[in-house]
Amino acid sequence: MAGVASAAVTHQLDVAKTLRHVGKPMPDTLAGWFVGICMGSFAQGFRFGITLILNMTLQKRLDKWQKAAAGKGGCCSKVVSFAISMLAAGTGEFLANPPVVIKNYQIANNVGIATACEELWAMGGPPRFFSGVGMGVLRKSLANGVVLQTIGPTKSFLLASIPSLQTSQVTLSFVAGSLTGSFAEVMTNPPDQAARRTRVGV
């Protein structure tokens, strides 16, 4: 639900980014800013859920190994933990690629879900719905891996710098998530642009 809500609230930013990436003008109507919001929200919720479940499960299963590795050297433990987060995020992105392709195509061409599906199918059948999956998985793996592994330390840093945040965990989580998420988005923008252009068919 958190993924669905966040995608819906920030959909206009996604529209602007997608159109900028594919070299098309911004919408000239209010409705244009909401094109693709249903598929975008569904894709984000599905992706987010899969990523969190897999990451939590894998981290727990390898917790004993990580503790042993930490005894030999903390660096090894962190690398393994980051790799697990990347694997979870990559799997979520792979499974959510079809609705993301539909959403991006809707935004780029200002069409509905049914029209987007029909046109995408005509372009190449089922494989067309996995266009850009390679770059998408690479980008999400890196971005979510960074977020999942840095949000904890970021919270600790914020609490040390601004003790008053201790009274509001919601605010603390929001600020930490915004900072880590923004950093991850900037660092992974090149593969994100490549993935969007491929999905749209540019």
Domains in the chain: ranges and CATH:
2-200 (1.50.40.10)
Instruction: Give the N- to C-terminal CA distance of the chain in Å, as an integer.
Output: 32
Question: What's the pLDDT score for residue 60?
Answer: 73
Among candidates 153, 176, 178, 148, which has minimal Cα distance to 55?
Answer: 148
DSSP classification of residue 25: P
Tracing tokens 């094109």 back to the chain, one arrives at 35
Q: Kindly give, in sequence order, each residue whose CB lies less than 8 Å from that of residue 147, ignoring residues fewer than 6 positions away.
A: 177, 180, 181, 184
Which pTM was predicted?
0.76
Question: What's the pLDDT score for residue 45?
Answer: 86
- Measured CA to CA, the distance from residue 30 to residue 120 in angstroms comes to 25
Question: What's the pLDDT score for residue 57?
Answer: 78
For residue 77, the Cα-to-chain-centroid distance in whole angstroms is 24
Residues in the chain with pLDDT values less than 50:
none
Question: What's the pLDDT score for residue 28?
Answer: 92
Tracing tokens 């819906």 back to the chain, one arrives at 8
Question: What's the pLDDT score for residue 166?
Answer: 84
What would the pLDDT profile of 55-102 be if each residue is shown by its tens digit?
777 767 666 665 665 555 555 667 777 777 778 878 888 888 999 999
SS3 of 112, please? coil
